[in-house]
Structure 1
Amino acid sequence: MSSIEEKRVYAEKSGEATLRLASDVGVVRVSVSADSIGEFGIEHRCTARDLSYCGGLAVATDEDVLLDGEPTGFGPAVAVGGSEVPIAAGPEGRVARYASGEWEELGRLDGVRAADGDLLAAADGVYRAGDGLAHVGLEGAADVSVPGVPLVATADGLYRLGNGWMREAEGGFERVAADRDSPPGELARACALGGGALYVYDGEWRERDVPEPLAAATIGEAIYGATADGTLYVDAGDGWRSQALGVPGVGAMLVG
């Protein structure tokens, strides 16, 4: 049986994007070109819980927060976000910002589930990280996306920030992500997972058929999804293509 360490090439190099997935065996890097899935391998071996681009690639792991592969001394983390520098949350509720090589404590917040930019999704709602932590609304937040217009996945709906939090769709949602190239104040493309279904936004939210339930999804030039047991799906407009990556415990993904 082939090992994940073996590099496999299926696509031309031109126009490549890079996907990164957080999994139980580490950060998996995958090259994609349109809907062609190229070489892939483990970039960092760890138990990865979350990923963020914030002045580098930040990874929340069971041992530490890694920044471009290097430990930062935060300790175990369940979520990482931030813009220019990482903002991380630990399993015991500690939230801190990394700057100038040191972690600055921002406060304590129980039940953090995800982070993006300066927003954190927690059991009792959405919080903004500034000089401290400020509750900015909602309850039962499971995920948050900042590019373009902030979006939040919650237990009772999908919300967009406008004149307050406006509900975009009803039902329980677990994941949400917008195209990282979205202009400020505009929502160009986004995707969300809820109740085993995938929803895609391109002016309005529509449910999309998926071959099997996804554990993570993101969007850019194509729609990308992954199952918990490591099957990657890509749809650039001509239907789904897939590749088994052979990694368990996929829980988050990024494209860049």
Structure 2
Amino acid sequence: MTAGENGVSWPLKLFTALVYLFLFGPVLVVIILSFNSADYGSFPIKGFGLYWFGELFQNQTVMRALKTSLILGILTAVICGVVGVLAAIALARYDFPGKRLINTFLLTPLLVPETVLAVGLLLFLQWFKQPRSLGLLLMGHIMLALPYVVLVVHARLATIQKSYEEAAATLGANRFQVFREVTLPLLMPAVVAGLLLAFTLSFDNVTASIFWRPVGTETLPTQIYSMLRDSVSPEINALGTVMVAITVGLPLLGIAFYRIRAQRRL
């Protein structure tokens, strides 16, 4: 076995490339087929065009599902951002009774399979004879995304020295001023990362949304699932491309924004 210049053997590089191909190859195929002008999504491609994207955006059912997913994603991101930042600061900076219990409670959704959480919450609400609603769906998305925001912000807080906050307090700033002028600016990269992560988790969620959505309401992932049960239309490929563009494009825009901002500060 011959090692390369960086000490990594070529079989390992080949294996890594095959794993990436296995993971992202289907996504690439969907993106390519979304531009196929034929009436069916298969190879060989008979011509490139945006016909199926036009058909997609004229589909009112899909547009309603997209609107629902965007609203849920934005609300989930905002609520998780506010609650997650406050929870992370409390857990990282203060000692109080029940701290370990609250920390375990916040992180439990990471340890329990999503399907188990979905069925459990649904059965719990049915026990109280509560119907499925958009509020339940939003609450479920928040439950799934909040632990990630708490972890990201908590990790950032661990790298911020308390001396900065103590110096501001020594100069006469109250707790709110310390948070606004010192802590929050230093936390902003983690806050934005948490917001984008929460939005993406909500926007892409399909397993739990199937259990929690009210009758007659579809999110974009559940709409794709419903369309796949009927037939494999080329519109599904176009819809998949739109989802990939949103879920991948937003984090990339966030990274680009902070790199430009950091360069301007320098």
Normalised to the residue count of structure 1, the TM-score between the two structures is: 0.23
The higher-RCO structure (CA 8 Å, 6+ apart) is 2
Normalised to the residue count of structure 2, the TM-score between the two structures is: 0.22
Q: Which has the higher helix share?
A: 2
Q: Which has the higher strand share?
A: 1
Higher alpha-carbon Rg? 2
